[in-house]
Structure 1
Amino acid sequence: CFRMANIDMEGFEKIRRSINPCYWEDQKKGLIRNPRENVLLFHTLIPGVLHFNTTRIIHVNPTDPEDLTRAEREGRQQVMEMVAFLKRHFECFAQAQLIMTAARAGVRESRLIHGEYTLTEDDVLSGRHFESGIARSAYKIDIHNPGGTGTVLKNLPEGVYYTIPFETCIPKEKKNLLVAGRCISATHAAQSSFRIMPVCCCIGEGAGIGAALFVKKGVRDLRMVDPGELRAILQKHGALC
């Protein structure tokens, strides 16, 4: 991600629908190396500032430090490529400045645990509710092609959400280990839905309270933690689970 400031926003609104067609033309000409299929951008609360989520770094092993170093270089090159593209084609960006890039390349998925339960794409899209649910999500399946262009998007029906069970945080054959965040037990497709930060925060809160109950009750296995009691504490704190 990156941000640009000092943009002529009135001019931007006039040309914003022209950005993607122009981007596609430059891709065909070889002027854009970024394999992403479109330019994704957002307004911010700061006048004249836009936030861009439009880089894509492919063929990276996120467990390999050399690959991650290459990803850092490639990501920043793509940012500069995008800034040059916008300035080259659109007058509203003529005086714009790059003011921020992400601190590091964002990794959407790496290793996942094999847990007591593995969340699936069907669980997500059907809006399955678990008795041991510790977090909710209504975010879509959102798979960014790790090998090139294209994004798979599958929306949940309007008003539908699914829950994430406590068992997805417990690795198989481990009695006293909890895992939280985007690395819990799930399929590739399901992970593309709950990996977003708000949901990961909720999973972390649920796992944290589960760990506290494990210690407080003096049990020997996390599977002995009462999910009903865990959910009651979460709900008392205002959590939706």
Structure 2
Amino acid sequence: MSELIQVVQHDDVRELRMARAPVNALDDALCAALLEALQGAFDDGVAGVLLSGNERVFSAGLDVPSLLSHGDDRAALHASWSAFFNVARTLAGAPMPVAAALTGHAPAGGCALALCCDYRVMTRSADPARPLQIGLNETQVGLAVPDGIQHLMRRVVGVHRAERLLVTGAMIPAEQAEAIGLVDALADDAAATVAQALRWLQEMARLPRAPQRKTRQIARADVRAALNRVDLDEFINDWYQPDAQAALQAMVARLRK
């Protein structure tokens, strides 16, 4: 298995821990490693999959400097975004339950991957002045959120609240995320967060497998359909708009300071 993914087996549940320092930014290599690890879990018939990150960041989302390095190479940019959406669709279409252990921040693509999972546990903020946060903050960095990704937010927090969060690109603290249903549960620290997500998966595994999985497949059909209707060509057209490029370049400049 790639060094970008640490695999931990918990009886019949497999944890896939993203390990691309420092913030699990989703570049082509990490997306490929995630796809390989997920397919391996599917092939091995595990009872559940647990997706986790590090104690600072679950995933910071797409690796924007890497994406910007493609410049005007539209084909390369298309391939990179396709890699991400392939991971999202694979998570959404997993044949077994998938839980996300959010032990750190989950902005943008990190939030999107978490929303593709069945169940989300997030670590409580140890310092109220510096809370752990989650959200689809694309508009703040110059990108429009595709309808398919917006659907993932709407289905867990409701249409009106999703509109407010999406349009403003809000990042919200873990406690607020739990209050509105964006995450399902909170835990006191990273270890407890992983343990809570693992307990949920183990509870799911105790149910009669065939009816549970059939019911789950029906209940999550909208998630799969939403991701399948993402228009990547339109998204890339928006990527190259002057205001989007200006905002993305400004974000990268801030990261380099």
- TM-score in terms of structure 2 length: 0.22
Give 1 or 2 for the bigger CA radius of gyration.
1
The structure with the largest helix share of the pair is: 2
